[in-house]
A and B are shown apart, each in its own frame.
Chain A
Amino acid sequence: MSNFDLSEILGNPEYVAMLLLGIKMTFVVAIGSWTLAMTLALLLLGLRYAPGPVGNAFVTAYVSYHRNVPTLVQLLLWYFGIFTLMPDPVTFWLNDHNAEAIFAVIGLGLCQAAYFSEDLRSGMRAVSPGQMEAARALGHSYVSAMRFVMVPQGSRNALPALINHSVSLFKNSSLAVAIGVAELTYAVKEIENLSFRTFESYLLVTVLYLVFSLMIMALGAYVARRADPVRSGRA
């Protein structure tokens, strides 16, 4: 069994089933944490724009922590730190509901929210101040100017950065292996242990991550093209 032979893995129904389960869990973690991150990012952005210094200071601290501590450490803090401080009924409930996956979603989602909110903020800042003036001069309220003039442009500006960070988030889902989430990387480590096909295992998972990441980027490019009024052919 020394020669390169991918069929040792792909020809084994048991390994294929493990792979598929891993892929499924990777997408559950990635989509769950993406949704959480985007929701939080919008809330953080709202806090940024709220009057008074408190909201802004909170978001600055939030972003600072989540961008300057390694994502892996954040995950470990959640699962091995905060989880153990929770009251027993909560711990029992979480253990019954795949606590590892839940904390992976929370940890990755909270971390990525910091990046997403900064992407959105820089997108908003890239909108020319003249746009707000023009809207106000036409009689729009602040909220109406934000809704119909600033946010449509700001979110479009933010798209490339959001797509990049979405791919990062997808790849970072592999960090969940450290807290025992049975996602793709975890499944491949298991297969490697059982089959002793080390190179084949990691080649396979490399190709899978590459393909999925490229698919997400293609999806992002499609969304970006649709969002561009001129290039989408609506003109």
Chain B
Amino acid sequence: MNTIAPSKNSPMIALTGVHKSYGNYEVLKGIDAEVARGEVVVICGPSGSGKSTLIRTVNRLEEIGSGSISCDGNNIHQPMPAKELNRLRSRIGFVFQSFNLFPHLSAIDNIAMSPMRVKGLQRDVAYAKATKLLERVGLADKANAFPAQLSGGQQQRVAIARALAMEPPVMLFDEPTSALDPEMVGEVLSVMKGLAADGMTMMCVTHEMGFARDVADRVWFIDQGQIVESARPEDFFSRPQTQRAQRFLSELRH
């Protein structure tokens, strides 16, 4: 097997020479980076820079051209049976910009379904856990509501609970607040802050620079398929090293 016994010091996520192209267009031009255990990394950059593509390669929603990605000691992009990939994916939480809740299931069914169907959890155990997760995201009273009956912020919080239900050691967020009305951004970010405080390893593509400043351990600034800067948020925001990052930050302030 490819599994290297993950030690406390090994990174949770390691990207090595990751390249990806769509036809002739190179989206990722050699990404080398690591996310330590318990670390919160915020990925930012102009649109089209490859940040969404990058985060989607980590659980192999996108294939890569060359390079390698390991997550929790597992080589994600090596050839493997479909079953093994499913197992690895179940250990990586993913939150989408568009929530992607299952509209035919109630909030609690959304959360409890995959632990039962993928991990084989007993029904009562899965629902007890789902109830706890709904409390954790502040939606205990919405257990039986359907996605269409929830606001965007509530849907995204259910989606976070759904991902957490698989008990992944790492959570990936792909612009989790970009589809939300401004007044709902805060409730989602505060759930994410809580997760970070609990020591969850997180990789988060976001334009919420306040969140990056307060919660991130590290900011990766991506432009044209490359990590141009990787810095602590206080350094990144006060002393961006490259012109591209300076321009990006000044445009955000407008």
Contact = CB atoms under 8 A, between A and B. Distances in A.
Interface in B131-166: 144-146, 148-149, 162-163, 166
A152 B92 CA distance: 25
Contacts, number: 76
Contacts of A149: 102
Interface stretch (B79-87, B122-130, B235-243, B244-252): B79-87
A50 B103 CA distance: 26
B89 A138 contact: yes
Contacts of A222: none
Interface in B88-117: 89-92, 94, 96, 98, 100-106, 113-114, 117
The size bracket of the interface on B is 20 to 34
A139 B86 contact: yes
Nearest to A137: B94
Contact of A131 (B100, B114, B149): B100
A193 interface: no
A129 B86 CA distance: 18
B9 to A, nearest CB: 27
Interface of A: 128, 130-131, 133-142, 144, 148-149, 152-153, 156, 229-230, 234-235
Given A128-B100, A130-B100, A131-B100, 15 more contacts: A130-B96, A135-B102, A137-B94, A138-B89, A139-B87, A139-B119, A139-B166, A140-B114, A140-B118, A142-B82, A144-B118, A156-B104, A229-B104, A230-B146, A230-B149
The list of the 10 closest CB pairs from A to B, nearest first, reads A139-B90, A134-B100, A137-B94, A130-B100, A138-B114, A139-B118, A139-B89, A139-B86, A152-B104, A230-B146
Interface of B: 59, 61, 82-83, 86-87, 89-92, 94, 96, 98, 100-106, 113-114, 117-119, 144-146, 148-149, 162-163, 166
